A and B are shown apart, each in its own frame.
Chain A
Amino acid sequence: MTTIGAPLRRKEGLAKVTGRAVYLDDITRPGLLWGRTVRADVPGGRLERIDFAPGPPWDEIVVVTARDIPGRNVVPLIADDQPCLVARDIQHREEPVVLLAHADRQVLARAVAAIRLVVTPAPAVLSLAAATDVLSELTLERGDLAAGLAGADLVVDGTYETGAQEHLYIEPQAMLAEVGEDGALTVWGSLQCPYYVRPAVATVLGLPEDRVRVIQTTTGGGFGGKEEYPSMIACHAALLAVKARRPVKIVYERGEDMRATTKRHPSRTRHRVGVSRDGRLLALETEFVLDGGAYLTLSPVVLSRGVIHAPGPYRWPNLRIRGRVMRTSYPPHGAFRGFGAPQAIFALEVHLDRVARALGIDPVELRRRNLLRPGDVMATGQPVEPGVDPLAVLDRALDASGFAARRAACDASNTGVSAVKRGVGLATFFHGAGFTGAGESKLASEAALRLGADGRVEILASSAEIGQGAATTHAQIVSEALSVPYEMVSPAVVDTAVVPNSGPTVASRTVMVVGGLLAQAAREMVDRLRAQAGLPRPHTPADFAVAARAYTDAHGPLLTRARYSAPAGWQWDERTLTGEAYAAYAWACYVAEVAVDTRTGETEVTDFVAVQDVGRVVNPVTARGQVHGGVCQGLGFALYEDVVWQEGGMANARMTNYIVPTSADTPPIAVVFCQGEASPSKGLGELPMDGTAPAVVNALNAALGAEIARIPALPERVLQATLPA
Chain B
Amino acid sequence: MIVLDLTINGRLVRVQVAPLTRLLDFLREHQKLTGTKEGCGEGECGACTVLVDGLPVVSCLVPMGQLDGAAVTTVEGLTAVGDPGLQRLQEALLDAGGTQCGICTPGIVVTAHALLDARSRPTLEEIRDALAGNICRCTGYTAIYEAVRRAAEPVP
Chain B contacts for A656, CB-based, 8 A: 42, 44
In the complex, chain B residues whose CB is within 8 Å of the CB of A10: 94, 97, 99
A418-433 interface (Cβ within 8 A of B): none
Contacts of A17 in B (CB 8 A): 90, 93-94, 99, 102, 105, 109
Minimum Cβ distance to chain B for residue A421 (Å):
22
Residues of B within 8 A of A655 (CB): 39-40, 42, 44-45, 135
A22 lies within 8 A of B34 (CB): yes
B120-150 interface bits toward A, Cβ cutoff 8 Å, 1 = contact, 0 = none: 0000100111011111111111111110000
**In the complex, are the beta carbons of B103 and A221 less than 8 A apart?**
yes
Q: Are B35 and A19 in contact (CB under 8 A)?
A: yes
Q: Are A666 and B104 in contact (CB under 8 A)?
A: no
Contact of A628 among B28, B132, B140 (CB under 8 A): B140
> Which residues of B (65-115) have their CB < 8 Å from a CB of A?
74-76, 79, 90, 93-97, 99-106, 109
B90 to chain A minimum Cβ distance, whole angstroms, is: 4
B59 contacts partner chain A, Cβ-Cβ < 8 Å: no
Q: Are A19 and B36 in contact (CB under 8 A)?
A: yes
- The interface residues of chain B lying within 8 Å CB-to-CB of A668 are 124, 142, 145-146
Which B residue sits closest to A219, measured CB to CB? B101
Q: How many A residues face the partner with a CB closer than 8 A? A: 57
**Which residues 5-50 of A have a CB within 8 angstroms of B?**
7, 9-10, 12-23, 25-26
Residue of B nearest to A171 (CB): B103
Assess whether A666 is in contact with B142, with CB atoms less than 8 Å apart: yes
Q: Which residues of A contact B76 (CB under 8 A)?
A: 18-19
B101: A residues at CB distance < 8 A: 169-171, 219-222, 466-467
Minimum distance in angstroms from B127 CB to a CB of chain A: 7
Q: How far is it, in angstroms, between the C-alpha of A358 and the C-alpha of B138 when the chains are bound?
A: 38
B47 an interface residue at 8 Å Cβ cutoff? Answer: yes
List of A residues within 8 angstroms of B145 by Cβ? 663, 668
Contact B143 A625 (CB under 8 A): yes
| A621 interface residue (CB < 8 Å to B) | yes
Instruction: Flag if A663 contacts B40 (CB, 8 Å).
Output: no
**Residue contact A220 to B143, C-beta cutoff 8 Å:** no
For A669, give its contact among B35, B94, B95, B140 (CB under 8 Å): B140
Find chain A residues with CB under 8 A from B137 CB.
Answer: 167-170, 221, 223, 629, 632-633, 660
* Closest chain B residue to A666, Cβ basis: B141
Q: CB distance A20 to B100 under 8 Å?
A: no
Contact B102 A21 (CB under 8 A): yes
Q: Is the CB of A170 within 8 A of B100?
A: no
User: Contact between B103 and A23 (Cβ–Cβ < 8 Å)?
Assistant: yes
A218 within 8 A of B: yes
| Set A7, A625, A630: member contacting B95, Cβ < 8 A | A7
The chain B residue sitting closest to A223, CB to CB, is: B137
Known A-B contacts A170-B137, A656-B44; the reply to A663 vs B127 at CB < 8 A is yes
- Known contacts A664-B132, A668-B142: does B79 contact A18 (CB below 8 Å)? yes
Query: How far does the Cβ of B112 sit from chain A's closest Cβ, in whole Å?
Result: 11
**What is the chain B residue whose CB lies nearest that of A222?**
B101
* Identity of the chain B residue whose Cβ is nearest the Cβ of A22 in the assembled complex: B34
**Cα–Cα, bound, A21→B40 (Å):** 19
A-B contact pairs, 15 of them (CB 8 A): A19-B74, A19-B106, A26-B28, A168-B135, A170-B137, A219-B101, A221-B103, A253-B41, A467-B102, A467-B138, A625-B143, A628-B139, A631-B140, A655-B42, A663-B145
- Besides the contacts A621-B95, A662-B132, what 8 more A-B pairs have beta carbons closer than 8 Å? A9-B94, A171-B101, A221-B137, A223-B137, A622-B97, A655-B40, A656-B44, A668-B146
Query: Footprint of B on A, CB under 8 Å?
Result: 7, 9-10, 12-23, 25-26, 167-172, 218-223, 253-254, 466-469, 621-622, 624-625, 627-633, 654-656, 660-664, 666, 668-669
Sort A-B residue pairs by CB-CB distance and give the 7 closest, nearest first.
Answer: A19-B35, A467-B101, A220-B103, A16-B102, A628-B140, A632-B140, A467-B100
